[in-house]
Structures are given as structure tokens and as C-alpha cells.
Amino acid sequence: MALRKIALVGVGKIAIDQHIPSLAKSDDWELAAAVSRHHQVEGVPNYKSMDEMLGAHPEIEVVSLCMPPVPRFEYARAAIAAGRHVMLEKPPGATLSEVYALEALARDAGVTLYATWHSRKAAQVATAKAWLMGKAIERFTVTWKEDVRKWHPNQDWVFEPGGMGIFDPGINALSIVTEILPDPIHLTGAILKFPANRDTPIAADLDFYHPHGATVSAQMNWDHSGADIWDIEAVCKEGVLKLEKGGGVLLIDGTEQPGAIGQLDGEYPQLYADMAALVSSGASEVDLRPMLHVSDALTLGKRQQVSAFEW
């Protein structure tokens, strides 16, 4: 079967590290063009204008958008208007309203829209979800700490309005939480720590309501020194589950379960396989639950000012 042609829009760190290698190994896709103001992809036509790329390549069925969330709506709207299927890097947009608008546009145009959550594809997330089903959860804790200087070096947009700050990585945790918890939760309170010279928070403490009385909380920090900590722990009457390394490692009552792999390994190839399946079936997938928690945190959160942040 011939490979479907896809264009990559926004050639930054995540595209270079994950999207391009995943597409190169894919049995479904051929990377046929790229759009970027600053970088080029070897071996394919490169453009600085989205409209120019769309006009030059009517054979490209799908556009994968990897730029920061604030400008993404206009690019997605243009692709949908041109009859192309659209794949959105997380978070799917700068606001909930614009993603709902894209969902409606895609539905009316008869094209696929896929709001991806790569952390849900981590090796042990599905196993964790299955284990938690039917368990009596007493305490559920998320600890998500990393160094923004490592993952977004000198990228000021993450601290600008719409950049989401700590919720850029923290939404990865929330995507796993909303996938594996058997019952829906909602935010009841938050403390958001804003650097004195920045517009988005660098740390957050979150508390949630759980319908069966479990204590659910999250601690997130983007100014963390040392090794990254991407852990989720569920203390249940039947035992203790712990996901480590962003869902790549699973422990049950302290015993590591088979199938562990590194953070991000296998996640993006699975996203592109899922996109191929969605396009083939004519379906869309737009789950905004992780983004709802972020919106609620920014609504309910108590703001605390902390020291200025410098790169």
C-alpha cells in the first residue's frame, strides 16, 4: 500500500527529536514537505509559508502542527479549509474555545482532527489503567518536576501568555491521569507560582475532588535541579501502583512490571499509527479533559510571586 503524504509544520526541538524520526520509520507516512521560519528538513521541499506549501502540494493529505500553541489555530484553520486532515501536538491549542472551533470546522469539512497526547502512549499507561479498574483508591499523587532550561532552552514563548508555563509539561501528567483514573475528577484548588518577571507559572500545586473520597493532588515544578521526576502513585486498599519516567516504568507494590521502556520511546510512532487509523476510518479524536484541568487551575488558582526566572 502506498504511503500517505504528510507535511510537518513547525520544525523545532520536538519535531527534530520525535516527529521527524518517527515519520522516517513509519509504515504509514511519507514526510513530503515542511514549513518553518527557522529550520529546514533535509530531503523534502521546505517552505516559510503555510499557504505556499498547501498550494504547492495538493497531494499532501495530512498536516502535523508542531509550533507553539498560540499561532496554531490559524494554521489548523487554513489546513482544514484546504481539505487536509490535521494532527495537533499537545496542548492542542492556546484556549479551549479555539479547539472546539477547530473541531466544528473539521466536522463540517469532513476531515480528521486528532488532538494528540503523547504521554498516554507511554509503555505502561494502558497496563496501569487496567490495574486501577475496580480498585478502591485512597490516595492519588502526581509529582512532575523537570528543568525548563533542558526541555525549552531560551524559548521565551513558554512564559508568555498562551505558553502555559509549568502546564506545558504538566499537561502530560494530566493526560495520563485522565486516561487511567476510573472515575472523573475535577479541580478544587490550586496554588500557582509566577516568577516576578514572567506571565505564566513555573510551579503549581493542585487539589482535586474524587467522587469516592480519595485524596488526589499534584505537585509540579519547572525549575527543578537534578534528574527529571515524572511519577504518579495510586495508593489503593488492594495495593500500591506507581508509574515512573512518565509512564515508561510501572511498579506494583514495589515490584517493577515487565515491559518498561524509556521516556518518549515509542510514543510518537504510536501517535502517527493512530492518525493513520483515524484518517482511514474517517474519524476524529479530540479529548480536551487534560486541558480542562489546566483551564480550571488558571481560574481557581491562587497566585504567588516567586523569584525572577532567568535562563
- State the catalytic residues: 90
Distance CA 225, CA 229 (A): 10
Assigned C-alpha cell, 50: 503555510
Q: How far is CA 284 from the centre of its chain?
A: 17
Burial of 122 per CB tally in 10 Å (0-12, 13-18, 19+): buried
Q: How far is CA 67 from the centre of its chain?
A: 13
Which residue from 229, 169, 205, 218 is spatially nearest to 306, judged by alpha carbons?
205
* 3-state helix, strand and coil shares in percent for the chain, rounded to the nearest 5: 35, 30, 40
The DSSP result for 124-144, as a single string, is THHHHHHHHTT--EEEEEEEE
Residue 286 has what DSSP assignment? -
Contact between 221 and 203 under an 8 Å Cβ cutoff? The reply is yes
Cα 250 to Cα 12, 119, 257, 285, 288: the distances in Å are 31, 14, 6, 27, 25
* 3-state class (DSSP) for residue 203: strand
Q: How far is CA 275 from the centre of its chain?
A: 15
> Any bridge partners for residue 143, and if so which?
219, 231
Distance CA 84, CA 106 (A): 9
